[in-house]
């Protein structure tokens, strides 16, 4: 009869097949898949926390290089929102699901009972920790191959990502040396579902109004409307 260790070894082997890489140091892969709840209360622990820190940087480098290679003429202002759409918790969790990382995740019984294996935050973290493990056990190209495969069409989708309207308006106003401010005009609705009305005021131009369920959304809507009125957004 197989014990827990043998059962997890089988899960690790299956994971290696899915990602197309066999670890020389499987203990490193195990560490990358171990949630902190397993060692709760222990001073010396080996979980994915440190590897996640490294993996975030490796992912950022690989994505930035890919964006530069794929977009020969775009400037930083156009590349930044595409980068942000590819390097975030949601994108990492999506890649983790595609690779089936959650199936090999090591959790405490309590975290397992609370659905930790499906939590987006945990999946995003282990995706980055596995990227770090691939980098350390293999090399940068090994990590890059994982990112290229499991981010899949996300790189193509990122081409349609535009700069956030608030950032775009801030840069537009700064380029024209005009002061920009947002003014709250009104708020309505119950506490659990508020509705905000905010105007974007740019020195020398008529204010433009935006609405949303949060101040940030209303500001973004006002910025978007202002830029469209000036012919700066399609």
Catalytic residues: 56, 128
Q: What Å distances lie between residue 35 and 49, 77, 95, 104, 132, CA to CA? A: 8, 36, 18, 11, 15
Eight-state DSSP code of residue 7: H
The span from the CA of 94 to the CA of 118, in Å, is 11
Q: Which of 10, 31, 36 is nearest to 133 (CA)?
A: 31
* Cβ atoms within 10 Å of 86's Cβ, excluding its own: 24
Q: What Å distances lie between residue 68 and 62, 71, 107, 132, 142, CA to CA? A: 10, 5, 38, 22, 20
Taking the alpha carbons at both ends of the chain, their separation in whole angstroms is 64
């Amino acid at each position: 009869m197989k014990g827990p260790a043998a059962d997890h070894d089988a899960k690790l082997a299956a994971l290696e097949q899915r990602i197309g890489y066999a670890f020389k140091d499987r203990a490193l892969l195990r560490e990358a898949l171990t949630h902190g709840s397993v060692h709760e209360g222990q001073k010396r622990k080996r979980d994915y926390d440190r590897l996640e820190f490294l993996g975030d940087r490796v992912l950022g480098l690989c994505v930035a290089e890919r964006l530069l290679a794929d977009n020969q003429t775009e400037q930083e202002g156009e590349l930044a929102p595409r980068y942000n759409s590819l390097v975030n918790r949601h994108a990492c969790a999506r890649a983790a699901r595609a690779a089936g990382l959650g199936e090999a995740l090591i959790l405490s019984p309590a975290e397992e009972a609370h659905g930790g294996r499906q939590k987006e935050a945990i999946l995003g973290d282990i995706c980055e920790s596995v990227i770090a493990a691939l980098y350390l056990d293999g090399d940068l190209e090994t990590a890059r191959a994982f990112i290229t495969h499991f981010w899949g069409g996300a790189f193509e989708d990122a081409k349609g990502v535009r700069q956030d309207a608030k950032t775009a308006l801030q840069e537009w106003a700064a380029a024209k040396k005009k002061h920009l401010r947002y003014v709250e005009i009104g708020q309505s609705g119950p506490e659990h579902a508020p509705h905000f009305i905010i105007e974007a005021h740019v020195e020398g131009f008529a204010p433009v109004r935006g609405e949303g369920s949060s101040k940030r959304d209303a500001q973004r809507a006002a910025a978007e409307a202002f830029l469209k009125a000036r012919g700066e957004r399609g």
